[in-house]
Structure formats: C-alpha cells, structure tokens
Amino acid sequence: MVRKIILIAYNGVTALDLVGPMQVFSTATGYSKATTGVQRYDLVVASVDGGVVATSTGLQIVTQPLHEIGREQIDTIIVPGGRPNDNTVFDTRLVAWIAENGPSSRRVCSVCVGAFLLAEAGLLAGRSATTHWDFIETLKRKCAGATIVDGPIFVNDGNIWSSAGVSAGIDLALHLVEADHGRRLLAAPAIWARAVGVPDVGAAAVAVWMKAVPGAI
C-alpha cells in the first residue's frame, strides 16, 4: 500500500520544518523501491492556491492546490511551522481545510510551531500536544482546552502527533516510518539523518543501504 503524505506549505513556512520530514519519507521510499521495487509513500507538497510558495528563508517551493486532493486519498498530514505570536492570523481557508480533513486522516502531525495551526483548526481541543519550548506558554494561551506539554521530543494523542522543534520533526518522521514498516526500512532515513537512539542501525545496515543506493550518503 502506498501511503499519501500531504505536506502543508504557505508563505513564511519554515523550510526545514517541511523538507526535513519530507526527506525522511522520501529516503525511506527510495530505499524500498531500490531493494524491493515497492513504493511506500507518495509525497505531495500542497498549499491553499497551489503554485509557488516562499518559505521564511526566501526558498521557493512549487505546490499543488489543496482542493485537488481527495479526502479519501490522505493518509498523513504534516503541518510545518512559521513564526507565530499572540496576534498571528492564519489563512482561514487553510485552517478550514485542516479542520475538515484532519479528523478523517490516519495521522495529523505538527512540526515545531505548526501546532498553532492545529490549535486554530480545533484539533488540539481536549488533547495533549507539544511545540517549540519558546512557544509553550503562547500555545497554552491560544489553546486553553489542550494539555500543552513541555519536554518531550514529540507527543501522540489519538491521530494527532506534535513535535517540539525543527529537528524533532525529523525524529517524529523517523518514528512514523518505523511504525509503518519496521526497523529495516527505518535504517535508510536514520542513516541519512545520522539519528541517535536507533541501535540496530550499524555498519551492516549502512553497507546494505549504500549498495542499494550508491552515493546516497
């Protein structure tokens, strides 16, 4: 089964929040295709209107319109962050799309301060979640109905996953790959990310992956 991963983009999005998890899923499916011929993930970067979106660094990303994606196609939604504050106003169309499609998706994941978009869409009400340590108190004020946790790399509550910071989004993506397909498929993106805490990823796994995907490291 090919799982469709929707990565949300918008003007001002933090580039690494988006491309970090995307690279994990891309590396995992590339390894799977090289070794078994099976594609595991279909990655789609999407925005409200489609077309070119500028990240906070000025990097431009080409996106697909969200309205072209059928709800039944979605497995996982990745919501990266930007730079929120108490007065941040999000695109209401994006908030509405997340609110409509989030509950029916297998997983909705926020990276860093992407949790603010989940809160705005009502998906954190009655849930536990986390965000970047510097925005914990702001998120508590924004989402009084949620339990905002300071400390964990990521938090899972039902189909909602939230990660603490930019690099934590990569950690979360690695965890999701392992949950979907086990540690053998996890080896490829973990090696790419030079992940810690993955004891089964050793020299033998590196050798297997380098043989399957030459020059990838």
Q: Token pair 């509950």 is at which residue? A: 103
pLDDT computed for residue 82 by the predictor: 87
Pairing mode of beta strands 160-163, 154-157 = antiparallel
pLDDT beyond 80 at 40: yes
Nearest to 61 by CA among 36, 75, 44: 44
Domains held by the chain: number = 1
CA angle centred on 57, ends 81 and 66, rounded to 5°: 50
101: in domain: yes
- The range of the structural domain enclosing residue 76 comes to 3-212
Q: What is the pLDDT of residues 88-112, one digit of tens each?
A: 678 999 999 999 999 999 999 999 9
CATH code of 79's domain: 3.40.50.880
217: in domain: no
Q: Are 80 and 109 in contact (CB under 8 A)?
A: no
96: in domain: yes
pLDDT computed for residue 214 by the predictor: 43
Element of type H or E holding 160? strand 160-163
58: in domain: yes
CA angle centred on 30, ends 76 and 214, rounded to 5°: 155
Q: What is the pLDDT of residues 108-125, one digit of tens each?
A: 999 999 999 999 999 999
Nearest to 129 by CA among 98, 154, 102: 154
